[in-house]
Structure 1
Amino acid sequence: MATCPHASAADIRPPKPSDNVYREDCTVCFDSIDDAPGLDVCLHCFNGGCCGERIHGRLHAQQAGHPLAVNIRRTRKRKQRAEGEPPEKISKLAIKAETEEEKYDTQSDVHCYECEIGGLAKEGKVGEVVDGVLKANTFAKQEEVKAWEQEMTACEHTLCLEQEPPRQIPSGDLGHCTKCDLKENLWLCLTCGNLGCGRTQWGGTGGNNHGVEHTKESNHPVAVKLGSLTADGNADIYCYACDEERVDPELVAHLQHWGINIADRVKTEKSITEMQIEQNLTWEFRMVDEKGQGMKPLFGAGFTGLKNLGNSCYLASVLQSLFAMPEFAHRYYRPDEMIPPIAKPAEDLEVQLRKVADGLLSGRYGQPGSDVQASEEVPEQPWQSGLAPAMLKHLIGRGHSEFSTMRQQDGFELLLHLLKLVTRSQVAAQGQYKDISDPVEAFRFSMEQKLKCLGCGKVKLRTDEMENLSVAVPIKRLPQDTSAKSASDNDEKPKEEFEPVTLRQCIHEFTAAEHVELNCAGCGNKGFTKQQLFKTFPTIFAVNARRFEIVNWVPTKQDVPVIVDEEDFDLEAYRSPGKLPDEEELPEDQDAGSGASNAFVPNEMALEMLMSMGFPKVRCERALHATGNQDPEAATQWLFEHMEDPDIDTPLSVPGGGGAGNASADPEKVENLGMMGFAAPVARQALKETGGDMERAVDWLFSHPDAPGISEDAGDSSETAAAADSPGKMEVDNKPAHYSLKSIVCHKGSSIHAGHYVAFVRKNVPDPAHPDNEEWVLFNDEKVALGADAEEMKKFAYIYFFRRKV
């Protein structure tokens, strides 16, 4: 065995359990240990570097001064079943953990880059480090869900629960505590059906302790919090006898006893979970068209799939949609540009976005997989193996209470979070790279809100910068065919059908004028009309179609068909005319709702509806403030998406008047922004423009790098405000607002917490006879195919991406 001085003198050590060992794929590209040259893992810092023609392993060794590396190559073992032996069937909701040794043959070789020597002896300290690298969990494995089996734990009181004769429990507006009028923080006694309010909690959650009093009087131990019911049958259950939170395996039946039926939704979600397990175990997961024919696989540049890392289909579908856009493709796919030396490329968002762009767009990895296994039901199709964006997923979720987990997430929330991270990363990237711009700029547009007093006719205009539109889809059920049901022998509940709507209808309702109650300081009138219209239009128009409603206390997504004009989606009718010649603007010091009523006042009807669902008042106020203070459905969705926010139960404390109000910036918040590197004048302006919200202020600062700022002595004078929002700063948008649909993200399932995401993208599919012909392409995790059922899926998309016509 060869030796070198670095092997005997190097200060190296085996990896600790807490160390990230990148031993599956390169940290800069997707070349991996499954490729013929293998992967070099640095023995000094455990970085993974490819050793083919891209030589990222060698570049790392030169830049970091780390000469020693172990080259790892892996080949898949072929399993053989004895003749006549049947395949193992799935008998329970579990995934069998298969070790790496059972799946692969692995070879390793230690070499020194500085001495240009290979075949170094794996002995002494070098041997210990190599052994530690080979045995360490891969980075991807640390991030994914290991083998699991669903377990239910309960106490004797939930297992042996005896219920009194059933009766219907009022829901919606009729549900309230039996001893007071509270409609929030309601707990249902599973023994007798009593509705009692909970304890008064720190942070303002309402409660008069009537639920606890009922338990003491009746000795009924188990209660469930109604507002916590989810579509997968989970809920907050408390056993007062044990004085602990518990699980009720028969929760569905116990709720059904009191008229709260979630059994259908639980069954639906379990079937989806079972299908996701089957998806992990077989390649042929619904990759057939409506006729049962296998879809045509696609390969090459722009047709590369992404592996499911465990409930990561929401991430894959959004990434495929984004990198199909020229703005993201040109920004991050730069094959002729070297990445500068970076100590930890796996923890750099810029590097990981470039890595994903290279993986999806270069065509290097979009090839048929060499180890594709055929099922016995479907003929073998040469699907891809797919790329695992584990490093990017880790960076996106780092520090986030939801995206850092392995649970299924909301695809639209992921899109908003990712765009925010991309914008924030541009400042640092501009210091390292030349000629780059923020790709999120293509999503930005301005909505102009006009408040008009019904008494004096004066108006107040406010401009809000946005990156998307989230619209409610009207849910209207079609009459069911009762004759068909009676003719049927089965007792299954017939599938509900809904009246189709157009996306234009949804946007029309979003932009329609509505009546609001505000105090006019000019004439004392309390009636205003409020309307939001487009002041500018984006290059990429992202629209979220919300189809959720509360059914038996459970947020449920309904399959309402939304009809979309694919070729010419015209938004001209929703362009804001601005202030009309005959309109007079309210003075800055006489803004609608100013003075004593300048605090945020929640919409009473919307607040009442939300509280009737069991949400605490503090949470309802936060939801209404975050979603425009009008739409209870939007606020409901916001609540379910922000249940884990650390400040969800903190009483709302922001100035009203909308956006750039008259309140002075909080000096402490200005100082906190200063600690992040933002100058005090622009920090004041950001806080002013975002109503004092720190997180929104940070985003505003990153998206407005040239903001003039507000000096301390200038305060919030109208002159300063006018200068900050002067017409010269706002580009006039006179181009036609005509769009064409380019991609959609679809969600299958009735819950925001489960289901499966896929993406359909319009692309030029290689065809010599029709070189400019665009086809819908389906991206279903690692599988990419011609999207035969795209026309049907358009009706049920969750996110629509339109491109403005030039």
Structure 2
Amino acid sequence: MAPCLHTSAPDLLPPSASQAVYREDCTQCFDSIDDEPGLNVCLSCFNGGCAGPRDHARLHFERFGHPLALNIKRRHKNIQREEPPQKISKLAITAETDEDRYDTSTQVVCYICNEDNIDKSSGELQVLIDGVMSATTFSKKEEIKAWEQEFVPCEHTISLVQLDPKKVESQDFSHCSMCDLKQNLWLCLICGNLGCGRSQFGGTGGNSHGLSHFDATSHAVAVKLGSITADGSADIYCYRCNEERTDPSLATHLAHWGINLAGREKTEKSLMEMQVEQNLKWDFAMTTEDGHELNPIFGEGLTGLSNLGNSCYLSSVVQCLFDLPEFQRRYHHPGEQPPFSDMPAADFETQLRKLADGTLSGRYSRPDKNALACRESHEVLHQRGLAPSMFKHLVGRDHPEFSTMRQQDAFEFLLHVFKHVTLSKHPAGLDNPVDSFKFCIEQRLQCAKCNKVRYRLDEQDNISIPVPARRIGFADDAGHNILFEPVTFFDCLDVFTAEEIVDLRCSSCKSQERFSKRSSFRTMPAQLVINARRFELINWVPTKLDIPVEVNDEPIDLTPYLSTGPKLDEEILPDDETSGGGFEANAELLGQLLGMGFPEVRCEKALYLTGNFDMEAAMNWLLSHMDDPDVDKPMDQKQHPEKASSHTQDPVKIAQLNEMGIDDSRARQALAATGGDINRAIDWVFSHPDDIADSIDDPQPSSNPGEQARTPGFDTTPATYQLRSIICHKGSSIHAGHYVAFVRKQLPGKSGLSWVLFNDEKVVEVDDVQEMKKFAYLYFFSRV
């Protein structure tokens, strides 16, 4: 081993608890410690860089001058098949450690000395190495944070009052107090009653006797006995809130009933673990008609993404986006060095390029060699899949939903990605790929009395169309599963563009008259994404309807839905009068929201923050912000709420918005309009593209006054489109179940396009997707 003078540098300190250590995969590509060259972790800043042909570790040294790196290689241990499995004496669930699965080797590299085997005993080097190897990795740290914010205490767990054990009947903790079930048992923390839970995902039995106990006694808080661990973690459920919660005093509350945490072992899976497991097991026809499992395919553009636990919504969206030429041109640059960034793992541009390289290059599309060593002979060998943990953390950072480990809605996530991509900085010569989705919807209003019309153009990057529900019967005698008549894709578009009657006050004849209202396309995009709304609100809960929609693979002509704009003989309505230029809520939408029982202040705020034209967007805002502390704070005399306080915003939040390409003035304006909530501020900027901040904030014009805004999209005909990909969902709710993507690809040796199924890391060719197309959630069409 070679000595090295650089091992005694004063800045070589072990990582602190708050520092991220990237020792799993490269921050700029998906090469990892499992590859032959291993991964080089910088011993100054703990960045992970690949040591293979791309050599991002050396690039890191050249950019930052950090001399030392720890090369880490990991090899999967061979499983000795001739040895009998260890006998299990009792039911227990234990976590398998890396030491159980892998052999790991390390050596120190010095780029200045050009040595790759530095003496580890030099200076405090061994302490530093031990600190790196024992530190919680970046992906694990972020996963822990995501799980930790899943559940919080509630007033019922915090103010829990327990009964005196001497005054209640003693309990037999071996089975449910009302039946003989011995698993899925929930202890009432108030009175000590033991009741079985509800039947869970994964087949865990239950007769709901814990819930029955709550109905009879109003004792709300219970803990699942089999989930309790020695460190105090457990499933806590509040029946009154009807949510999973945490109990800050769990150890004390358990001791009250004679249960000591010391020595407790987890014997049953948690509710979240069972949900994740069930999501991974949804059957998406991974077999042929004769029962044989579909064979995996490998190559460029055929790389799967591993499930990080409820991340299938992310994987499906990514596969559809990076199949598009616009996203490939923007982010896939083979052979180019990655962009300079002080923190590659936290740089949006770097992570999107990493994701594009990983999914498109084909370098990682190969059978999992570790699975090859231990698979059964009859099993089909799939890819290992890439873990998009850095991208997931970055795109979901600080978002109340996408930063968690819960299942999310794929359509909402797609729009969230659109916002981040649009607001990010695009280098010269590289276009924003979301522009290819943009088009204009025309809203036409005509007064029934004076026949004058008004046109409004709304720029969009997606449409959400209703799927007409025509009930024809039930699938079973119990009447539980409703059958629906199949509809065509054109039926849905006909409903979307159909004329409707609304009541409005006419600005010309000053009468309260009926207006005809119709939506149509003024322009069409290069890439059209359509959300098929098969959900209806039942008691404010989105309930999925299984309505078949017939969509062909052949090109379809959408020209009939394209408007030519105002006609020569039409008389245009004058603009509505306003008082002092303040915000005036859309009268029609305001009336509808008020009729649903929402307070007027909230309705006006929802319309303002969602663009003042989209009923569904305003209602979604109201439902998702009901608990905001300032939701009932009136807007200042109907003036723009950002005018009064745009100077007093948090500079840290302004800096975060600056990183996304939002200038100081717009950042202050958005934060003021949304009460300082950075995620709502991003939404505000995205939904108010034409709002200009006060000149006192930004005295310089924001653009060249000679430049005219260009209407996005195409108005040429024919408007012909072909289905390119779909995202399908199985499950009763958009927040549960499983998402997969079907993408049409040109496969080697095939004359035409083939359908490819991306089911997380599993990538297979499928012959028939007619059934899947009927129930798809998102459709991606490309202009022919």
Normalised by the length of structure 2, the TM-score is 0.75
What's 2:551 paired with?
A: 564
Q: 1:777 aligns with which of 756, 759, 764?
A: 756
Matches within 5 A, 1:250-399: 273-276=276-279, 287-372=286-371, 379-399=378-398
Q: Establish whether residue 453 from structure 1 lines up as the match of residue 477 from structure 2.
A: no
What's 1:265 paired with?
A: none
Matches within 5 A, 1:415-434: 415-426=414-425, 429-430=426-427, 434=428
What's 2:42 paired with?
A: 42
Task: Report the Cα offset of residue 696 of structure 1.
Answer: 5.0
> 1:693-712 CA deviation, whole Å, 9 max, x = no partner?
964552267x78xx999979
Provide the secondary structure at the position in 1 that maps to 2:473: coil
On the 8 A contact 2:583/2:640 being kept in 1, the answer is no
With over 3 angstroms needed to count, the CA separation of the structure-2 counterparts of 1:749 and 1:605, relative to structure 1, is farther
Distance in 1 separating the partners of 2:706 and 2:669: 11
Distance in 2 separating the partners of 1:541 and 1:53: 38
Distance in 1 separating the partners of 2:30 and 2:739: 23
Task: Report the Cα offset of residue 678 of structure 1.
Answer: 4.2
Task: Report the Cα offset of residue 500 of structure 1.
Answer: 1.6
Distance in 2 separating the partners of 1:521 and 1:307: 57
Amino acid at match of 1:457: N
Matches within 5 A, 1:463-502: 463-480=457-474, 485=477, 495-502=481-488
What's 2:399 paired with?
A: 400
Task: Report the Cα offset of residue 112 of structure 1.
Answer: 0.6
Distance in 1 separating the partners of 2:89 and 2:621: 41
Task: Report the Cα offset of residue 667 of structure 1.
Answer: 3.0
What's 1:745 paired with?
A: 727
> 1:717-765 CA deviation, whole Å, 9 max, x = no partner?
xxxxxx9997876777224211100001111111122111100000001
Q: Establish whether residue 512 from structure 1 lines up as the match of residue 487 from structure 2.
A: no
Q: Establish whether residue 539 from structure 1 lines up as the match of residue 526 from structure 2.
A: yes
Distance in 1 separating the partners of 2:748 and 2:85: 43
Task: Report the Cα offset of residue 8 of structure 1.
Answer: 2.2
Matches within 5 A, 1:718-797: 733-767=715-749, 770-771=750-751, 773-797=752-776
What's 1:106 paired with?
A: 104
On the 8 A contact 1:452/1:460 being kept in 2, the answer is yes
Distance in 1 separating the partners of 2:91 and 2:395: 35
Task: Report the Cα offset of residue 475 of structure 1.
Answer: 2.6
With over 3 angstroms needed to count, the CA separation of the structure-2 counterparts of 1:436 and 1:20, relative to structure 1, is same
Task: Report the Cα offset of residue 398 of structure 1.
Answer: 0.7
On the 8 A contact 2:559/2:719 being kept in 1, the answer is yes
Distance in 2 separating the partners of 1:99 and 1:493: 49
Provide the secondary structure at the position in 1 that maps to 2:474: coil
What's 1:138 paired with?
A: 137
What's 1:716 paired with?
A: none
Distance in 2 separating the partners of 1:102 and 1:436: 47
On the 8 A contact 1:333/1:358 being kept in 2, the answer is yes
On the 8 A contact 1:682/1:710 being kept in 2, the answer is no
Task: Report the Cα offset of residue 664 of structure 1.
Answer: 7.0
**Stretch deviating more after TM superposition (748-757 or 562-571):** 562-571
What's 1:51 paired with?
A: 51
Higher RCO, 1 or 2 (CA under 8 Å, sep at least 6)?
1
On the 8 A contact 2:186/2:194 being kept in 1, the answer is no
What's 2:202 paired with?
A: none
Amino acid at match of 1:738: T
What's 2:161 paired with?
A: none
**Stretch deviating more after TM superposition (594-603 or 305-314):** 594-603
Distance in 2 separating the partners of 1:234 and 1:724: 61
What's 1:74 paired with?
A: 74
Amino acid at match of 1:758: V
Task: Report the Cα offset of residue 83 of structure 1.
Answer: 5.6
With over 3 angstroms needed to count, the CA separation of the structure-2 counterparts of 1:17 and 1:679, relative to structure 1, is closer
On the 8 A contact 1:606/1:630 being kept in 2, the answer is no
Provide the secondary structure at the position in 2 that maps to 1:372: helix
Task: Report the Cα offset of residue 581 of structure 1.
Answer: 1.8
Provide the secondary structure at the position in 2 that maps to 1:478: strand
Distance in 2 separating the partners of 1:317 and 1:274: 18
Distance in 2 separating the partners of 1:728 and 1:43: 50
Amino acid at match of 1:455: K
Q: 1:435 aligns with which of 424, 429, 448?
A: 429
On the 8 A contact 1:682/1:708 being kept in 2, the answer is no
What's 1:584 paired with?
A: 571
Amino acid at match of 1:513: E
What's 2:561 paired with?
A: 574
On the 8 A contact 2:29/2:354 being kept in 1, the answer is yes
Task: Report the Cα offset of residue 623 of structure 1.
Answer: 6.5
With over 3 angstroms needed to count, the CA separation of the structure-2 counterparts of 1:391 and 1:493, relative to structure 1, is same
Matches within 5 A, 1:197-212: none
Task: Report the Cα offset of residue 514 of structure 1.
Answer: 1.5
On the 8 A contact 2:14/2:127 being kept in 1, the answer is yes
Provide the secondary structure at the position in 2 that maps to 1:371: helix
Task: Report the Cα offset of residue 574 of structure 1.
Answer: 1.5
Distance in 2 separating the partners of 1:309 and 1:120: 36
How many residues end up aligned between the 2 structures? Answer: 675
**Stretch deviating more after TM superposition (776-785 or 333-342):** 333-342
Amino acid at match of 1:156: I
> 1:391-413 CA deviation, whole Å, 9 max, x = no partner?
11111011111111111111111
Task: Report the Cα offset of residue 278 of structure 1.
Answer: 5.7
Distance in 2 separating the partners of 1:583 and 1:245: 68
**Stretch deviating more after TM superposition (569-578 or 348-357):** 569-578
Q: Which runs of 5+ in 1 are unaligned?
A: 162-188, 193-218, 224-232, 248-267, 486-491, 657-662, 713-722
Task: Report the Cα offset of residue 518 of structure 1.
Answer: 1.7
What's 1:263 paired with?
A: none
Matches within 5 A, 1:183-194: none
Provide the secondary structure at the position in 2 that maps to 1:357: helix
> 1:607-654 CA deviation, whole Å, 9 max, x = no partner?
47855xxx88876777777789999887776666x3688478446759
On the 8 A contact 2:635/2:641 being kept in 1, the answer is no
Task: Report the Cα offset of residue 34 of structure 1.
Answer: 0.6
